[in-house]
Structure 1
């Protein structure tokens, strides 16, 4: 059955694993035509594929099986000497893997249970796989507030121990970071621990570089390799980090440089990786984590512009590419109170203007005129309003519609 699950594509996965299917699994358990042990093995495999590949299934959340598992976790947690730790771990992993909404009470039981597993420091293959499964299940708890006492000391210890002794698999290490970065949505007090204590940017740079060495970017058939999947997961988390962290930090320039390298390597054969790169860079520009000088130093302006000129450009990449230029232009428009800083801003604006003019930025923007209405309909809530500083296009009478000037704000 595991082979069947592994061989499914996303559409097949969503079609098969419905509420009805999970209820049928419960019925088989109750009728003893499927042992609980085998059911757990199957459910963990389903959950592993779902979370690793970021697929969506909603049937478990509304199924009777979910209620049964919640009761079993609660019953097992209340036991003392007779508690079956192995069963409790399996139940908690299934619950976290397959859900998309969580009970606070169950979270308070599952998180400490699985962090205890993840704190194992043995480097043998069996132990590493157990740790990986526990952390991957925990990484599925996104955008959910939980008290720091449930997790902070333990997840910091897991990350710091790996930084010194390298005991985790690459996937386990990435999922440990996803679990922590996800907490920023509800608790921005974690910024110091993530940025200063644990050095998120430094670690992300190192992981992107090491993983990229394992990929032959010229071969499209490697798209399903675990290294490619992990790179995509890192980029997704970096994008969220840029969205939530708004203070300038020198290490973030180095992180953008690493993303640019992956972008250039992936642009021909790896569309999803390319998209995640451009989304990350655009978030950094919109939320001002990196200054314009940093983007020029990393050649991010060149790399994004090169990508939006490619004939295989899709809506998602086009949208985030234009958002990147909006973020840069907004930064360049900000007047500085100090005279020297204002002089520096004007010089930086001139440099960006000349670079894009030389590369044909105006012609590229105009070529997108027919798609502006499409972007407005689908992404209007993201676009800037009342932009006054787009003289570059206005003074040349190149924009037949004022709305298009939203793309020409340099």
Structure 2
């Protein structure tokens, strides 16, 4: 239907084409490069509308949300880069998008990063992902009463929590793929740590994505280890290990965080630092772990990461804290 509508010479229904493309991206897991080349420019053209009418704003939101669902999909940046940059930059100046639409625009761009490393410069230094995501998280967290449990929240607060969760997923994906460090990410990592501490008692999903984001940052050779130490990320993950009845996957990400740091501190070339500086940084990290009494536990778990990362854990106690004691 999409191809037929696109190829019509006369009587082409642009709104129908937009609706069909949205349905495809929201419902289908895979699609051809031909459909990518038709639907992406179509939805971006629609999302470029700057009309302030509520109905148009909502339609733009749906178009960008559909685009954010394209985790995979082949297509050159000529199909989307100028348009997505214009959408993001215009919003930064005029605040014309909904918060969901803005986060969705970033998702679409960051999911293209794996296939095109040249987007690193655009995301970090032209569009200022670190600054913008930190700003969004600061606004969103101010609007939530974190002492309430999720079931006690108003609809507005619940929506804010969903948006924060979405941003955490975006940040997790970005630190998994980025290959360029920007000083703005210092505040971003600090913001992730702060949200973890604010939300850890009542919001396990946010806690999960915070730890996942920090684990990816620790494994990324472009994120300085000393910044993870100064930002409180190491303390944050240690706090998570101390919590009773840990979620297995959170445990996996927490332990992998330390495995990543240990691996990186052993590889001087990757960090490009002097030997004396590397040794001093390693000493600080190990002292932090030793202060909490977790050095042996983390070392003992070195061989269990594959088990913990599986979806089912038939060989592991349901209460991982018991397993810590046994170790």
- Partner of residue 187, structure 2: 254
- Partner of residue 174, structure 2: 241
- Partner of residue 283, structure 2: 350
- Partner of residue 174, structure 1: 103
Q: Distance in 1 between matches of 2:53 and 2:106?
A: 22
- Partner of residue 316, structure 2: none
Does the 8 Å contact 1:336/1:342 carry over to 2? no
Q: Distance in 2 between matches of 1:295 and 1:208?
A: 19
Q: Deviations over 1:43-81 (max 9, x none)?
A: xxxxxxxxxxxxxxxxxxxxxxxxxxxxx2222212244
* 1:23-34 correspondence to structure 2 within 5 Å: none
Q: Distance in 1 between matches of 2:271 and 2:32?
A: 52
Does the 8 Å contact 1:143/1:186 carry over to 2? no
- Partner of residue 361, structure 1: 294
Q: Distance in 2 between matches of 1:229 and 1:323?
A: 26
- Partner of residue 122, structure 1: 51
Does the 8 Å contact 1:252/1:289 carry over to 2? no
Q: Deviations over 1:209-256 (max 9, x none)?
A: 111111222212249812111111111121111111133332222211
Q: Distance in 2 between matches of 1:336 and 1:104?
A: 39
Correspondent of 2:259 among 326, 329, 340: 326
Q: Distance in 1 between matches of 2:94 and 2:77?
A: 25
Q: Distance in 2 between matches of 1:334 and 1:185?
A: 24
Deviates more, 1:222-231 or 1:80-89: 222-231
* 1:179-328 correspondence to structure 2 within 5 Å: 179-220=108-149, 221=151, 222=153, 225-328=158-261
Query: How many pairs does the alignment contain?
Result: 309
Does the 8 Å contact 1:232/1:273 carry over to 2? yes
Q: Distance in 1 between matches of 2:297 and 2:270?
A: 34
Q: Distance in 2 between matches of 1:292 and 1:178?
A: 26
Does the 8 Å contact 1:145/1:187 carry over to 2? no
Q: Deviations over 1:337-380 (max 9, x none)?
A: 999932222222222222221222236548xx6x8776443539
Q: Distance in 2 between matches of 1:211 and 1:129?
A: 20
Q: Distance in 2 between matches of 1:339 and 1:322?
A: 24
Please state if 1:103 is matched with 2:103.
no
Taking CA–CA contacts closer than 8 Å with sequence separation of 6 or more, which of the two structures ends up with the larger relative contact order? 2
Query: What is the aligned-residue RMSD (CA, Å)?
Result: 2.6
- Larger Rg belongs to: 1
Q: Distance in 1 between matches of 2:9 and 2:20?
A: 17
Q: Distance in 2 between matches of 1:346 and 1:323?
A: 21
Distance 1:322-1:340 versus aligned 2 partners, 3 A rule: closer
- Partner of residue 159, structure 1: 88
Q: Distance in 2 between matches of 1:142 and 1:212?
A: 27
Q: Deviations over 1:277-311 (max 9, x none)?
A: 11111111112232222112111111110011100
Does the 8 Å contact 2:221/2:271 carry over to 1? no
Q: Distance in 2 between matches of 1:292 and 1:147?
A: 34
* 1:382-401 correspondence to structure 2 within 5 Å: none
Correspondent of 1:92 among 6, 12, 21: 21
Structure 1 unmatched ranges of 5 or more:
1-71, 381-398, 405-410
- Partner of residue 79, structure 1: 8
Does the 8 Å contact 2:251/2:308 carry over to 1? no
Pairwise CA distance, 1:165: 0.5
Q: Distance in 2 between matches of 1:318 and 1:108?
A: 41
- Partner of residue 394, structure 1: none
Does the 8 Å contact 1:143/1:185 carry over to 2? no
Pairwise CA distance, 1:124: 2.4
Structure 2 unmatched ranges of 5 or more:
311-323
Q: Deviations over 1:156-211 (max 9, x none)?
A: 00000001100000000000000000011222221111111111111111111111
Q: Distance in 1 between matches of 2:298 and 2:10?
A: 69
